[in-house]
Structure 1
Amino acid sequence: MKKLYFICLIMIVHVEYLTAQEDHLTKTFALPSNNYKVNDTSTIEPLTKPVKVVSIIDQKSETFKRELEVWNAFLGSVDLQNIGFIFLVRPLVDLDRFKKHWFEEMQMNYPFFYDQSNKIFVTNSISEAKPGHTMVLDKNNEVIEEGGKVINTDPFNLYRSTLHNLTTEMGIKKAVRGEITEMKDGVLKTFYNSAPIYVTEDGTLIPSKLAKDYIISRRFIMQTSPLSDTVRLMNNNRR
């Protein structure tokens, strides 16, 4: 009886080990073909880029409009020559109505992918329980980072940091503009990928040295955006 018990215990441990190993295996994402691409006037070809971001767009989500607003800003802060965005839209609505909303109402000057047969989602085992799910793929289309909606701060910072590090390793410089926020050795660090541009409240350019003097003296406070290299100095001495 004891022998049988130990055999069962060893088998359970072995299965758990194999499961843990599978969890650490790198997943390769099966990209959609260009047949599924829905375009407007853009000539961008996301599938050909060396680095890709795949995001599931669920138009039934309560935060759908806000997500598109953030993605639109995100697109303007990265090098689209080297980073491609593959927006997979769940086939749950009328395509013509969605095209009008995407291109005209939300002014997304970027294609999306629409598969009426749902094949892309089935092939990649993407369930409906993952609205807003996003993945960053390397040049081999292997998933190196994944998480939730970009409207949440942690995923937003994580995707930008991952894209910055991945493109830097590939020799692509300054592919992500604005502030990069990432966790290093348990410490949260924020830095600019390139030297920021300092301007006054009315947009006048200020030399970097003078701007830093203003900041140190606390005469001005910095107004920044994580999507831009521009730092606006706001007068801190108003009465």
Structure 2
Amino acid sequence: MTDATGPQLLGRLARPRLYEQLVEQLLGYIESAKLRPGDLLPAERELAERLGVSRATLAQALVALEVLGVIDVQHGTGAVLRHRASVASVIKGLREHRSRLPDIVEARSTLEVRLAALAAERRTDEDLAAIGQALDTMQAEIDDGDRGAHGDELFHQAVTGAAHSPVIAQLMAFIGEMVLETRLESLAQPGRPEQSLTSHRDIAEAIRVQDATAAAAAMQRHIELVSDVALLE
């Protein structure tokens, strides 16, 4: 019996993104190799050769798995399996994550730009020391070939502390895990750790000279920079 409204049109299926295809292959490898939590995946060069992709493309897929907690990418060690997950659950998680990234960026723009301005107005010598230490930590990590994620986190924590605004600080803590997702993805982009550190220094200088307008503008530029992540493209 034909529906009175006529035949239903089938929507075109979205073509899986390359990193989604790679994620599926990586999960298949984990399954076939019977890897267990704590086991190392092969080196990136070897994996890239096996899959026939560039190391940059592979790195994007690995970051996607890291964001979802399937693996832990450790500097000097490589990708370590944290837990085995089904392809369906991971792809679903990736698509949900991608859909909320714009909201995370919007929240950061709303909160962190204001925090930078307040930090410029209220910072103490101790706050400046914490900001400087965070910059030094990130520089040392980058010099060591790492992404600088810990120093990046310390910097934003130091700016938040320098604002001396407990309620906004609580809001930042609330979105902390979501900000971590974008931090991992952003710092995995080629050349991004160095670019991020440079923009951190611009923010820090505006805070040091107590120029709230410049601090807010520098933070906004920084958030626009770090929001340019492969999963949004």
Q: TM-score, normalised by structure 2?
A: 0.23
Q: TM-score, normalised by structure 1?
A: 0.23
The structure in which a higher percent of residues are helix is: 2
Q: Which has the higher contact order (CA 8 A, sep 6+)?
A: 2
